[in-house]
Structure formats: C-alpha cells, structure tokens
Structure 1
Amino acid sequence: MGVTMSQTYRIVKRLAFTRECSLCPPGTSSEGGAAECIPCAPGYFSPKGAAKCGKCPQTHFSGPKAEHCLERPACRFTDFYPVTEPCINGTTRTIYKKIQPALCRDDIPESVKLPPPSAFRPCPPCNPGMAKDAKGICAFCPAQHFSQGEGQLVINDD
C-alpha cells in the first residue's frame, strides 16, 4: 500500500528489577521512548512494531486496532434505512439514508443505489392523546383535554 512502517519497542512495566522492550502488537503504534502502545483509530492500521498507524486507502476501511485494511464492499439494499419526513402541510414522504458509518461503495457497477424518495402522501392520524397543531404536527393535548388522534389541536375552555 506504499506505507512504510518502522519498528518501535515498548517498555513492560511492573516487573520487579527488570525492564524489557517489546514490539507493539498489531493495530497499535508507539514512537521511541514511549511507555505504552496507542491503539489505531478506525480508518487506520498498523502491523506489529509500528511507529505510526497508516491511513487506509479511500476504497478500504478498518475498525479500531486494525492490523490491516479491508476492501469496502458494494452497497446492498440492507445498507440503507427508511426515514419518514415530518408532516408539512398535511403531507409526508419516505426518504432513504445510508447506515452510518457508511462502509459500502456506490461507485462500483454491482452496487445498489440509494432508493429515491417516495411520493408525497397524506399524514397518518395522530395517536390518542394527541392532535395536529397549526403546522400539522402531532402534539400532546394539554392537561384536562383529550383527543382520539383525529382533528386539530383546538383548546376550548367552555
């Protein structure tokens, strides 16, 4: 991958009358003179004994403490989830978003593309104990009021 790694050793503490330098394990790094190895962050990697963690290429990914990067797979339909937008003027629709962190690639031929938004549709009724406010958004009824979920939030003090 074109990343050069130098080997670094760590001091093992808490051993009576002995000090020993050991290579940092894979997925960690340490510059000279350090007392411990630092884990690589997600998106970075390191082999055993690395002085620094290397960054994964754009087409690859890694979790924390990774020894190597993995190729990002093509997107599948299961990489997206539906989100119902808030009601505006009595209508709503469903849009789709990528599951985060987004690991899949949509730039390769076999990838499933992000689905388009659905058509606008009327908003569903509110749950019991709620009614639509002036903006068409479900809101809880105030104390001493009730609703079966239909209609507008109108407060009559009669």
Structure 2
Amino acid sequence: MKKMWMPALLLLLGACSSLDVNNHADYNNQTPVSAFIHTDKPIVAVGPEPVQVHVLRNGEPYKIQEDIKLTLSSSEKGMIETTSVEPQEDSTPETLIEFPEDGLYRLHADIPVKEHNLQVTKRIGVGNLTPSEQQMLNANQHSTPAGGHH
C-alpha cells in the first residue's frame, strides 16, 4: 500500500507544475461572442424563406471563419433538415430554409467561434398555428436568449 503513495504523489505534483497561471487571466480578458437567428415575419410554408445568423462581439459584427450548421426540427417530425451556411466576407451569413407545412419549428445554429462553439436556437411559427402552438410560441418569446460558452 505504501508503494502506491509515492507514484501517486509524483503524478499529482507533476500535473500541478504544468498548470499555466496566466490561463485564468487570459480567459477573463476575452470578450464574449453572441449570436441570434433572424427570420422575416410572417413565415409561410409555400417556399424557401430567408434566414440570417447574426454573430456579434461588443455589438459589432464578428467574422466567422468556418461554416455555420443550421438544423431545422419540430416536435412532430423530429429532425427535418441540416444545412451548412458559408461565412460571408462582407455581410451576414444567410441561407434559404423551406418549412414543409404550417406549424411550430426549432431552428438550431451551431456556430464555430475561435474560442468556443456557440449554439443558438430559435422557435419559429409558420403559417396558421393552432391555439396551443401559438401559446407555446408566445411563452418562448419571453425566455432569455440562448448562447454562451460551450
């Protein structure tokens, strides 16, 4: 039993000596990146609808280097479609999404940012909603925006 204490102690001390004391300060100095999904109102299920993904740092547009992955889903149909949106050199990333029929949908964006992955979800009502779908949509609009460090 005593023979196991020495290797465990050496391993613990070795791990502690490799910690970077500046790591915490560097993390605190990073300005968070935020994002939101924008759709035009009202959305109909007749054809493709424009969807924009705004990524901001300090309220200013933040340039994304990699593709943004958008996933459309609903509680009735599950995952419907995944689309990649290429970063735009001088404008907000935008794509067209086709909503299959009237109803309540979730559009989830997975945004690769240098420091972390940012994930944002927007609940979208399409066409004529049932009273329960309208109630769920209204309840969700009062919640806090999704996103943050992941």
- Give the TM-score normalised by structure 2: 0.23
- Give the TM-score normalised by structure 1: 0.22
| Structure with more contact order per residue of length (Cα contacts < 8 Å, sep ≥ 6) | 2
Based on CA coordinates, which of the two structures has the bigger radius of gyration? 1
Between structures 1 and 2, the one with greater helix share: 2
